[in-house]
Structure 1
Amino acid sequence: MQADFSYGPTVDGAGCQLAVTILADRAVFRDEMRDDALEAGFRLRNCSSLVEYADGEIASLGDLVLVDCGRADAAAMATLSRLDARVGQSGAQLVVSTTLDALDTVFGCVSHSGAQILVDPSRAERIVALGRVLAQVPSLRVRELAEDDRLMLLRLAEQVGSIAQRLERLGPSAGGAGSARADGPLANWGGQEQTAPTPIAPPLPDAASIRTIIRQRQARAKFFDNQLFADPAWDILLDLAAARAERRQVSVTSLCIAAAVPATTALRWIAQLVDAGLLLRVADPADRRRVNIALSDHATDQMARYFSEIGIRSQKPLREVG
């Protein structure tokens, strides 16, 4: 049974009610998204299919755009790309739900808006996405918000912030080993300045050694509940390290599977790792509509140092990976 979480109008710090645009070709999801947004206190600006939106006149999108893309056909992806660009420029927020089959293409169309991407979401997961939107609105005033819901939004915001802080410490800005930035000029005996040399990271070990670690991690699920050991960030980094050693491209869908958590959760981690400078979005040379994911040079150096630290070293020199 769907919980009733309807409140008064949701307004920003200036007292203006937040507006939502809902675009979905699947009518059942469009109706659910509309009902949930209205119950959350949003004002409905537009509710239509993607085709109807593309054929209509250009209008204001509002503060939030909810999109459902069940199929990755060319027309829908063209519309999604335009929406992504508009949302990125306007400062609105975008939530896109899709299927696992369409994920790679949908992901490739969303690069400017910082969109939340939900994969085969339940209605509860859509409502949580609305909660994340509300948690990010500055000076938000939500009327008659129940204490349990207030705490839920607070915990959700804290979890997202905690993830970001943890990853920030791993990013290039941390300035640890492997960073190309020198701490400052050093004076040599002749009085001339020189920069400190950047330590050379060891090469990655061969892919077979990394895959062995991955298989050992996966074997735990045979004897224990896999959720006891859920560590999607590390599983993602391991999979991409093995792929780099193999000189193989990794799709978003493949990486979500490797993360061993629900695809929507994996996408959230991928986005945070990209923001931290550990992962890169790389255009698929075989299909420009798609985007692959790869380790950044900084992350590759750090992974190589980690493997060397625990005694797993390359058995043969590796060529530079393009």
Structure 2
Amino acid sequence: MTQVDFIYEVAAHGAGLPLTVSIFADCSNLRGDLEDDVAAAGLTLRESGNLNQLFAGDVRPLGKLVVVDCPQPDALAMATLSRLDSRAVKLGARLVVSTSLESLDAVFGCCAQSKPQILVDPPRVERIIALGRMLAEVPSLRLRELSEDDRLTLLRLTEQVGHIAERLDKMDTHGSVGQQSAAGAFRFESPSDSYRTEDNTGTGEALIRKPRPALPDARLVRQIIRQRRTRAKFLDGDLFADPAWDMLLDLTAARVEYMRVSVTSLCIASGVPPTTALRWINQMVDVGLLDRVEDDADRRRAFIELSDKAADAMARYFAEIGQDTMALS
């Protein structure tokens, strides 16, 4: 891919101070690329060094944006990431942590508080997108107006992120239980007027929820998952990528089977690249579809499971499509 030069003025936060970036990576070539991309984004490089500098015992001042490449973290690295995660929350800093698929569970477990962007074996373009997303989160950021060519190039780089954002914008968790919301992540409503009964005032406005049906047989859910994967053998899988649904199906089956699902396993189940899957997981946690559950035996690990509300929604969904199937038979 041709490297495009973006020309920005120095980016600053609302107070007018330049946004500083700290880079920690053992690969000198990677550090060089990151330094170039940080400069191109109009950010100010505070420091750039290897992981030993970050892992040093002394607490060091850090930039408002901290980029760490940690492909194979050992025990010291994981402990440092945990401390960095806590510091980022206290200082209001933002983190981008890149790692390997083999180490994803360990890194995910260490970063429970700051909601960093975790990249898995990322190419350079994904690192650029991550910087762009961080810039978008900074209020009152001052960047020079892009030229039309720069704008089109940036649009191509962020197209994938844009598709994700469009879907997530449809998720709205502000809808009340018992009310229908066109954009809600959950849509719980009375299935018929027969569930609206008299309340204490005699107005008939009380709403009694229909008891939740049981979750479907795990074998049925696994069959649906296999069918969805088979489709990709004959049709372009990218055209039908639906990572949120694939993950909900996988977690539904796991809940019935009393199985715990690691973040790595869930990324694989999503059918999309791990970095993309992680963005979905974080957003689905934010809207209440998924829960992050710490491992009691190892606090550095975490699992992902359906929230109770999501389990309720999946149970009702499968019950309804089962009724539709019986009506057609």
Q: Residue 165 of structure 1 aligns to which amino acid in structure 2?
A: D
Match of 1:320 in 2: none
User: 1:167 maps to what in 2?
Assistant: 171
User: Structure 1's 187 and 171: CA in aligned 2 closer, same or farther, altered over 3 A?
Assistant: closer
**Which residue of structure 2 lines up, in the alignment, with residue 256 of structure 1?**
267
> What fraction of aligned residue pairs are identical, expressed as a percent?
55
Is the Cα–Cα contact under 8 Å of residues 186 and 194 in structure 1 kept in the other structure? yes
Distance, in Å, in 2 between the alignment partners of 1:268 and 1:187 is 44
Amino acid at match of 1:210: V
2-side partners of 1:119 and 1:87: how far apart?
Answer: 20
Partner secondary structure for residue 281 of structure 1: strand
TM-aligned CA deviation for residue 197 of structure 1 = 3.6
Residue 5 in structure 1 maps to residue 6 in structure 2: yes
> For 1:172 and 1:274, how far apart are their aligned partners in 2?
18
Residues 37-72 of structure 1 deviation map (CA, whole Å, 9 limit, x = unaligned): 122111111212222123264233222110111112
Q: Distance in 2 between matches of 1:160 and 1:129?
A: 14
Residue type at the aligned position of 1:275: D
- For 1:83, the equivalent position in structure 2 comes to 84
Using the TM superposition, name which of 196-205 and 258-267 deviates more.
196-205
Alignment of 1:198-277 (within 5 A): 198-277=209-288
TM-aligned CA deviation for residue 28 of structure 1: 2.6
Q: Is the 8 A contact 1:7 1:41 kept in 2?
A: yes
Matched residue count:
308
1:318 paired residue number: none
Amino acid at match of 2:260: Q
After TM superposition, give the deviation of residue 186 of structure 1 in Å.
6.8
Match of 2:121 in 1: 120
Task: Assess if the C-alpha contact under 8 Å between 1:188 and 1:194 holds in 2.
Answer: no
- Match of 1:81, SS state, is helix
Helix, strand or coil for the counterpart of 1:138? coil
Give the unaligned 5+ runs of structure 1. 180-184, 314-322
- Residue 188 of structure 1 corresponds to 200
* 1:132-163 CA distance string (max 9 Å, x none): 11111111111253334446469788656434
Instruction: Give the Å deviation of 1:120.
Output: 0.4
Matched to 1:297, the amino acid is D
Give me the whole-angstrom Cα distance separating, in 2, the residues matched to 1:292 and 1:178: 30
The one of 300, 307, 319 aligned to 2:318 = 307
Supply the distance in 1 between the matched residues of 2:72 and 2:212 (Cα, whole angstroms). Answer: 43
TM-score (norm 1): 0.86
What pairs up with 1:100-115 in 2 under 5 angstroms? 100-115=101-116
Q: Give the drift of 1:169.
A: 4.8
Change (3 A) 1:149 1:134: farther
- Residue aligned with 1:67, SS: strand
Residues 1:147 and 2:148 are matched in the alignment: yes
* 1:65-104 Cα distance to aligned partner (Å, 9 max, x none): 1011111211111111111111112222111111000000
Q: TM-score, normalised by structure 2?
A: 0.84
Unpaired runs of 5+ in structure 2?
178-183, 191-196, 325-329
Residues 32-41 or 268-277, more deviating: 32-41
One-letter amino acid matched to 1:71:
Q
In 2, distance between residues paired with 1:258 and 1:172? 31
Tell me, in whole angstroms, the C-alpha distance in 2 between the residues paired with 1:243 and 1:111.
Answer: 22
